[in-house]
Structure 1
Amino acid sequence: MKRNSWLAAVVLGLALSQTVQAESSFVFDKTPGQLPKTVIPLAYTITITPDLKTFSTQGRETIEIEVKTPTATLVVNTLDMTVSTAQLEDDQPAQIRTDNKQQTTTLTFAQPIPVGVHRLQLAFQGKIGPQPQGLFYDKYDDGQGQKVLLGTQMEATDARRMFPNWDEPVYRSTFQLTVNVPENFMAVSNTPITAEKPLGQGLKQVSFERTPKMASYLVVLVAGELEALEDEAAGVKLRVVTTKGKKEKGRYALESLKKILPYYNDYFGVKYPLPKLDMIALPGGFPGAMENWGGITYNERRLLFDPKNSSLFTKQGVFQVIAHEVAHQWFGDLVTMAWWDNLWLNEGFASWMGTKASDHFNPDWQLWLRANQSKETAMASDARRTTHPIQQPINNPAEAASAFDEITYRKGQAVIRMLEGYLGEDPFREGIRHYMAAHAYSNTTTADLWTALQATSGKPVQAVAATWTEQPGFPVVKVAANCLNQTQQVQLQQERFTLRDPNAKAQLWQIPLALAQTQGEPTQTLMTTPTAVLEAGTCQGGILLNAGNTGYYRVQYEPTLFKKLGQDIQQLPVANRVSLLSDTWALVESGRVRANNYLSLVKSLGNDTNLAVWEQVVDSLETLDTLREGKPSQAGLRAFGRSVLHPLLTRLGWEAKSGEEPTTSILRADALALLGTFGDKAVIAESRKRFQKFLKNPSSLDPNLRPSVLEVVGRYSDQKTYDTLRALGRKALTTEEKQLYYGALAMARDPKLARQTLALTLTDELTSSLAPSYVTQVAQSGHPQLAWDFAKANMAQLEGKLADFNRFRFVPTLMTAFTDAKRAEELEAYAKTHLPPEAQREVAKGAERIRSRAELKTREGNNIDTWLCNESPQVVGSKVQLCVTGGQ
């Protein structure tokens, strides 16, 4: 896009944003936030000089501000920063007072600043840390030695670490950035470079175009020894930027972006408005991806794909994360939530849109079927007393950081998908287009989205959606049926579904239902009352509720209906095989049905080879295995697992077959990984054999099998094998490879080797921000006490490697490797003494998860063992001990 057309788009966007305020529920003065609304930043001009020896910065900025009410004080956000001078354009200096706890600096002037536009000039000094928050440094090895690059991560509230600003999303401003960096560095920001000139002494100055009006958390700067692949699509210059020597691994990402960008231009009805879009791969210290407008940052394992060494699972992940982050360029960047209580508008929508686009271009990946895993994660959390509404109050930066959770992302995606199904694809898309056009370059609330969707669909979107976004939890719909005049009468009753929360507040949802006979087309209806009666064809057919599995609710069939579905499970549509398994397992967890109901369904799957089905089964078997850890009956459970998984692997074979579905390679890898965990001797032997061949000839091991084979080898490694894996990890140059090898080390069952992995997390051998995750992996691989003792002894060092975003979650996540209720008390006691108040929400969630699993273990242990004795004749090797001792 030419510069003049881009500016025209910005002007048009500003005009649009000014004309729609009357129809928007967003009101600037009523938007929550910490900063006074009496002053508005209009434009920032920033110059920063990083010092890579001291990891500090010198900066100066001019901020054009609009004063709405006369005031003698200005309050800006700062954190870990010193503002040395501050003055207005008339040379009136300010007294400066910084409050690091409140993350603000207050500037007090001798005279009130009159209403109007003024220029505020500041000089400041900041820090560059190793954690991905604000401006950070990332050390990596390029094969020739250690290198360092600079990157930024501003969301949610870390732009204030890089420069003083109004660091709340409602304050949309323009930003013009200039940076002084080493002359061999390439610098990337939101917009194209306007000028680059030498400064002498090995430095150069790089200046970027002014951005459109946007939130401060979208500012980006990356600088280092970089290279780029370039292309163009829809008039936009596209690049994949990597550290030197890796750009060719970005070719798949670039080709994916060329598909996704035009697709979104059409879907949203508003073209991508910037002249360029860069996707930037950071080697290791940056854990995820961030949707900075025009300059998206990624951990390189989420962006780079090597056809010779990367798996299909990696390939799918690359496409999906690109689709997610590029969706944000509209939903989050062009239109931004007014405050963090509407974060789900960004994340839930981008998760849904990313999956929709990925499924559109790659239907053979079966992504919507497999999105059941994501929905299950959300529902497990949403059923507990520690859940919260999708829209939740946010009062401070710590609460903003904690809002990035499974409810925001995964429940958000699931609810949007359910609403799209209720409204229809075309009316839903037209509503989104209306929303985009009406609110471009502005801020919104959730109500604005509902208004747009209601206008285009003619359905009561506001009333329906409010029951899903403004109250916590979700319903279970209980299903019974009888025959009246040769017609099946289906009785439905909704109530709140909970885990360990019998006194949860009763609630009512407006539920978009899809009811069908087993092989029939579904009937769509809206359930707005506690009970309902529907007709469903002849009395001979089976009943399916939530046909297609797009609803965000559980289904509990009365025993006769459930028995018939269990008998017919292999004939059910695959989406409903998945939902029947998922719902039954959740009903077991809640105590509504017994575990034998679920195990019988698994046993009935027969020759099923659908990945989505087995992903659900594998997850549940892993949970059951954890609950039986240390019990004699664990051997019986593992024998049952082998009895259903080994025939599956036999059908699939170890080698890919010509013409097989892409998902088969992932299913093959999942099956052999769990068989390895369950001690299948043939799988362990074959994995070791293939690993030895791999050491001599890396191309001999299929990239799709590589993660699982390494996991099995790592789990049963001796010292020699452990040292070999570690040597491979040290030599690996990409984050994907390193995580394969070090992840395999973290799986080791030998306590001596587990201790060695734990010790590695305190060294520079592992990337700083990722090292603590290996402590958690060791805990989840059978050594929870070992990992917990290590973490307590080294907590300061481990937490020092993490950004605030993850620091609050480290201990609660680690402790959920335990399944005894006393461990929940231990977590809570530790948190009171050692963790800040900001961590207590995550502590409560972790403790509740431990108690839920402990209760399930106590309630269902004997039932599982009895079923294994009576219904699973395949359990031979452990049957005597299991059935004589009762597994206890």
Structure 2
Amino acid sequence: MNIKNNILLGAILLISFINKINANVINEYRINSNHNSNIVLKVDNEINDVESEAAVVIDNDIESDISDSDDEVIDIESDILEVVDAEMDIESDVSELDNEENDIETGILEFDEGEIETETDVVYSDTRLPENVLPVAYRLDFYTSIENSTFDGKEEIDIEILKDTNSIIFHSENLSLSNITISNENEILKPNSIQFIKESNFVTLNFNETLKSETNYTLHIQYSGKLNSNGIGYFIEEYDNEDGSQSRMAATQFEAADARRAFPCFDEPQLKATFQLNMTIDDGYNALSNMNVVEIKEIENSKLKQKKYIFANSVKMSTYLVAFMVSKFQSISDKYNDIDVSIYVIPDQIEDAKYSLKLAIKLLEFYEDFFKIPYPLPKLDLVGIPNFTFGGMENWGLINLKPYYILWNEETGSIDDKCAIVMIIAHEIAHQWFGNLVTMKWWDDFWLNEGFATFMKDIATDIVEPELNINNYWYYENFASILEVDADNKLKPVYNFSSNPKYTEDWDKTSIYYKGRFIIRMMEFWLNKMNDNLNTSTTSIEDNYFNKRINEYLNLYKYDNVDSKQLYEMLESYDENGQPLYHVSEIMESFIKQKGIPIVMMEKIKNDHNLTLTLSQKRYFSINNKLDDFEQKDTMIKGNSTWVIPYSYSIYSNSTGKPELLKSHYITLEDNDDRKSKTTISLPTKDDEASNTKIFIKGNEDQKGYYLVQYDDESIQVACEWLKSDLNFMSYRNREGFISGIFTQLFEDRVENPATILNCLDYLKNEKSTLIWIEVLEYFNVLIERYENNMESNELLMKLISDLTKNIFEDIGWVEKEKEGIEKKSGIEDNSIINREKLRRKLMNLRQYGEENNKAKALYYYNEIKNGTYSENLEENILEYIFSDSIKYGDVNESDIDFILNELDSETSKFEKYSLMGGLQQVSDASLRKKILEKFSNDIETDSNLDNDEYQDLKIDLLTNWASEDYYLCFTFVRDHWDDYFKEKYLNDNYSLIYLIKNIYLKSKNDDEHSQEIVSWIDMIDEKEKKISLEDEIIEDNYDDNNLENEKNEDNNNIENKENDDPIILWLKERY
């Protein structure tokens, strides 16, 4: 073997290939962000360095290795050949680039990063973009192929250089980039290297030249990518049409940081710019974007029939609000002033979109009037996107929604569905001002968007749909849920700093949306009261102090970005010395930047000369708080857990012979370092035993504040006496707050004499407020749960609940007699249809504690429905109780089963199927159960009624319910239909089915006759997939059984031991 000749030949070949590469000057830079490291692509001027270094390496290798063994020479030859092969691959890639130069419009150029060494300079390491470049305007030209799930495009971004720099950094994720240059009137510059940082999605363009401050350039980029199926960025969705065919559509979801998945951009909210989009799409589709269509061009000489949609230039906005869509949707439209308002949905759904169109126009009109700022775009589209990941997204001019939140049928739609639509559309349209027009600077102030949109939704819904009276119930439902998690230390602060918006798991949306909303509501009330603008009867809602300042805030910062402090400054007023009057910053900072909710302890102290009120605060922890260690809890309380509280209290007196409001007061409870310090207030009046004059002080007027109040025993007793004689001496909102507060004190043993609170319950016999009753029933559930394992206590509770709910049950009833004018006729402010429906459902859930004739009512309505003679205005959701109770308590026979099974075949309503299946769950007769399963078997064998997955899951739930009593019947049904029905569900991880199988196993394990048969069958079906672990089930079941038994014994022992001193049980025994 001629070693030297072979080595020289290899060297010559290598240098030859490098020269070929040098001859084909590489102008294409390809960056694919799936690569795991930083990449620097060296071009043009660096190839000579590579060539010379390669030659030196080869020469050195020849000299040093010429005398080595044949084996070592073979290794050298092998190494050289591998290098040659690699260079051939590179040459092939360059050739591909050359071949595709004429097709650069598609931007689909392949590049294998594995063939490029990752040699990098110092990399920019911050997670935020540097402040050296400002984007001004984007021009985007997209082509989207729905068929291939791909897109590509080219863009121009006009940028302003703010500081001298040699680099430009922007965002890109999962995109292929090419032909990157910057230009101005004088020059075109190419980057000498490009870096990509996967963690931050940064692309850094490095230039030899210094880009001078106050100069302008245009950044040119070509890009391509794939439509993803995960619902973020630029994504694709498949959906079923009414005729069973499937269609596809593409849409965008960019909040918080996913615009970079669709086009290279400066993807931070404070970097607002204008956007002009062109969308080229295939024939048969249409395109939407934030702005209106200026022109639609037919593409000539294209292989496919294509159209280009040219959209108007946008207003200045953040990248996360950019939106576009390609679909076959249809629309209905109308005009509000000069604004085109449209709803886009699947063609089959167009009839059910009419309500949302009317609603959107009413909301636009309201917000324009309220904010005194016109909606700035020429159109507003609302789109129902199948399988949309989020409830809604406020893209400016192109709002995305789940179909559930946009479709409502006036004949079949429920009141709950209508309320959900009103609230979410009101929220998203509010964002067109809060969030779109004025945007937070960074995501730590996300509450400025979401808290205000939620707050404005409350105001808007009561104006545009007053008959729904949504917010009376919404307040209770949301405040109760927020309180529960905030008092259990589970809620993060409203303001929650995160340097990377990709880490959205750091966001606590419950806190941002809803706690933020309650804090804003508190400040609205406080500022209006403190500004002495109290005459709300003659002042319109948009003209009060708070709303005037908010309108000024929107006007001052429109098309701009803000932080929390700028809002506080706008809401504050100052005295002649420049000192703040309302402590806005101190109040807001204490509430949004720490966890928890404060509780204010009020104590009325009287002596011979005067009456004083002492106030103190601490952090409130609920009785369910998981911090078991008292010292740990106390340490948390001693930390930064006091608030600057905008506190209100109202003084009531019966000096005129009946209880009346004297005056309300508004003070600031300071954030004192000494937690034991108290605020003492001298009251302007006092109790007078000689004239039987008493006073009661109610804290937190109309429950506007985000804090709780604790009362002393005497105050509770006075208020309860007055409630029994004249419950309307307080507004229903104040009554609700008082009753909620004292129930909490009762459960948490924060009252000297529990009987004081328990004696108050009798006033409820005359209470008509639906909201108060909704809340009281929740407290009854707490009592039921507390004593559920003690039969005697449970029976006493049943008597109490039956006694107290008798009047309200008769008033609410099973059927709503009248749907119109309920509030006016009843004189009850919160007596709306939605509140009555919700209360009716809660009463039904406790109906076993109510009147005995509830069973007779259920049987009556069931027979009316069965015989076709029913004509009353019965709500759909009450059907669940009718079918369940009539089957459970009635004399059920085969004709009843036939009737229900026939109804299941004919009914299409999801809720009606749910109600009918709920009735079948109550069937206990073995022969009737077999008859039902014979019908289900026939459905499987004839392939009938199998197209509704939710209905099929209800059947599985039915079997799970029956398995507790007749597991073998359920097992044989599943076994016999495994191959032709259940196996597919099992392979698709149907949780309900897997739970059913586990439940069957657990019920059989103590049965010697069938246990081994069932275990063998489960082992057989689960051999490959391993979805069911029986060993885990044995351990868990034994553990659960033992623990449950221990817990029951412990509960019973505790209750029996405490029966003699439990004040609630003692009070019940004395009463009954």
TM range (shorter): 0.7 to 0.9
Partner of 1:92: 190
1:503 match: 635
- Kept after mapping to 2: 8 A contact 1:135/1:153: yes
* Residue identity matched to 1:578: E
The partner residue of 2:222 within 117, 120, 123 is: 123
Which piece of structure 1 moves more, 272-281 or 83-92? 83-92
Partner of 1:606: 765
Match of 2:598 in 1: 475
- SS of 1:301's equivalent in the other structure is helix
- Choose from 332, 335, 339 the match for 1:232: 335
Which of 268, 286, 294 is residue 186 of structure 1 equivalent to? Answer: 286
Are residues 512 and 376 of structure 1, via their aligned partners in 2, closer, same or farther at CA, if it must alter by over 3 Å?
Answer: same
Measured at CA, do residues 488 and 142 of structure 1 come closer, stay the same or move farther in structure 2, by a change above 3 Å?
farther
Alpha carbons of structure 1 residues 163 and 476: separation in structure 2 relative to 1, 3 Å: same
From 816, 820, 830, the equivalent of 1:656 is 816
Match of 1:735 in 2: none
One of 202, 205, 211 as aligned partner of 1:104: 202
1:328 aligns with 2:427: no
Offset, 1:592: 4.0
Q: Deviations over 1:634-679 (max 9, x none)?
A: 9669947973567644431222222453755434543454456557
Output the CA distance in 2 between the equivalents of 1:188 and 1:585.
54
Q: Distance in 2 between matches of 1:296 and 1:491?
A: 51
Q: Which residue of 2 aligns with 1:161?
A: 261
The 1:448–1:586 alpha-carbon spacing in structure 2 relative to 1, beyond 3 Å, is: farther
Tell whether the 8 Å contact from 2:393 to 2:428 is kept in structure 1 after alignment.
Answer: yes
1:408 corresponds in structure 2 to 512
Give unmatched runs, 5+ long, in structure 1.
Answer: 1-31, 733-737, 787-793, 798-817, 823-854, 877-888
> Which residue, 441, 448, 451 being the options, matches 2:566?
448
| Contact map agreement 1:70 1:113 (CA 8 A) in 2 | yes
Match status 1:462 vs 2:585: yes
Asked whether the equivalents of residues 548 and 576 of structure 1 are also in contact (C-alpha less than 8 Å), the reply is yes
The Cα of 1:582 is off from its aligned counterpart by 3.1
After superposition, the CA RMSD in angstroms is 4.8
Structure 1 residues 251 and 390: alpha-carbon distance in aligned structure 2, compared to 1, 3 A threshold: same
Distance in 1 (alpha carbons) for counterparts of 2:797 and 2:915: 15
Checking the alignment, whether the CA contact within 8 Å between 2:454 and 2:517 is kept in structure 1 is yes
Question: What is the CA–CA distance in structure 1 between the aligned matches of 2:315 and 2:526, rounded to whole Å?
Answer: 36
Measured against aligned partners, the alpha-carbon deviations of 1:368-414 in whole angstroms (never above 9, x if no partner) come to 43313222322333334444432221221244454252221111111
Q: Check if 1:492 corresponds to 2:586.
A: no
Tell me how far 1:479 sits from its aligned partner: 1.3
Q: Is the 8 A contact 2:793 2:1065 kept in 1?
A: no
Q: Does the Cα contact within 8 Å between 1:614 and 1:667 map onto a contact in 2? A: no
Equivalent position of 1:223 in the other structure: 326
Match of 1:18 in 2: none
Structure 2 residue matching 1:605: 3-state secondary structure: helix
Q: How far off is 1:857 after superposition?
A: 13
Q: Deviations over 1:239-296 (max 9, x none)?
A: 1222113233222222222222222222222211111111222233333011111111
Q: Assess if the C-alpha contact under 8 Å between 1:78 and 1:100 holds in 2.
A: no
Task: Indicate how the Cα distance of structure 1 residues 510 and 635 shifts in structure 2: closer, same or farther if over 3 A, else same.
Answer: closer
Closer/same/farther in 2, CA of residues 204 and 691 from structure 1, 3 Å limit: farther
Amino acid at match of 1:705: N
Q: Work out the CA distance in 2 between the residues paired with 1:40 and 1:859.
A: 68
Q: Contact 1:638/1:678 (CA < 8 Å) preserved in 2?
A: no
Does 2:159 align with 1:65? yes
Give the superposition deviation at 1:340. Answer: 0.8
- Residue 315 of structure 1 and its aligned partner are, at CA, apart by 1.8
SS of the counterpart of 2:272? Answer: coil
Matches of 2:918 and 2:265, distance apart in 1 = 49
Unaligned runs of 5+ in 2: 1-125, 529-540, 575-579, 628-632, 653-658, 671-677, 688-693, 824-830, 882-910, 922-928, 965-969, 1004-1021, 1026-1035, 1041-1049
1:373 to 477, 483, 490: 477
Q: Distance in 1 between matches of 2:769 and 2:959?
A: 30
Taking a change above 3 Å as real, the CA distance of residues 261 and 714 of structure 1, as seen in their structure-2 partners, is same
On the 8 A contact 1:649/1:671 being kept in 2, the answer is no
One-letter amino acid matched to 1:661: I
In the alignment, is the contact (CA less than 8 A) between 1:480 and 1:491 conserved in 2? yes
How far residue 348 of structure 1 moved from its aligned partner, in angstroms, is 0.8
Q: Find the counterpart in structure 1 of residue 397 from structure 2.
A: 294
Amino acid at match of 2:495: Q
**Distance in 1 (alpha carbons) for counterparts of 2:274 and 2:844:** 55
Counterpart position of 1:81? 175
Name the CA distance, whole Å, in 1 between partners of 2:705 and 2:434: 23
CA distance in 2, matches of 1:443, 1:450: 14
What secondary structure is seen at the aligned counterpart in 2 of 1:542?
strand
CA distance in 2, matches of 1:208, 1:50: 15
Q: Which residue of 2 aligns with 1:810?
A: none
* Higher RCO structure, 1 or 2 (CA under 8 Å, sep 6+): 1
For each residue in 1:132-178, what CA deviation from the matched residue of structure 2 results, as whole angstroms up to 9, or x when unmatched? 21122232222112222222221112222222211111110111222
Instruction: Decide whether the 8 Å contact of 2:175 with 2:261 is kept in 1.
Output: yes
Map 1:381-780; keep pairs closer than 5 Å: 381-424=485-528, 426-455=544-573, 459-483=582-606, 488-499=611-622, 500=627, 501-504=633-636, 505=639, 506-517=641-652, 519-520=660-661, 522-529=663-670, 530-535=678-683, 537-539=685-687, 540-569=694-723, 571=727, 572-587=730-745, 592=750, 604-620=763-779, 639=798, 643=802, 648-658=808-818, 659=820, 661=822, 663=831, 665-674=833-842, 677=845, 680=848, 682=854, 686=858, 693=865, 702=874, 705=877, 710=911, 717-718=920-921, 750=961
Aligned-partner Cα distance in 2 for 1:256–1:413: 23
User: TM-score normalised to the size of structure 2?
Assistant: 0.63
Q: Which moved more, 1:866-875 or 1:285-294?
A: 866-875
Q: Distance in 2 between matches of 1:343 and 1:363?
A: 29
Contact 1:639 1:875 in 2 (8 A): no
Deviation string 1:853-872 (CA, Å, 9 cap, x unpaired) is xx999999997995675555
Identity score, percent: 22
Question: Quick one: distance in 2 between partners of 1:207 and 1:75?
Answer: 28
- Give the CA deviation at 1:585: 4.9
Give the partner amino acid of 1:535.
L
Query: Matches of 1:39 and 1:428 in 2, distance apart?
Result: 37
Greater shift, 283-292 or 711-720, is seen at 711-720
Task: Report deviation, 1:130.
Answer: 2.9
Contact 2:196-2:202 within 8 A present in 1 as well = yes
Measure, in 1, the Cα distance between the counterparts of 2:956 and 2:863: 14
Q: Which has the larger radius of gyration?
A: 2
After superposition, the Cα gap between the structure-2 partners of 1:82 and 1:326, relative to the gap in structure 1 and judged at 3 Å, is same
Shift of 1:216: 0.8
Q: 1:69 to 1:522 in 2, by over 3 A?
A: same
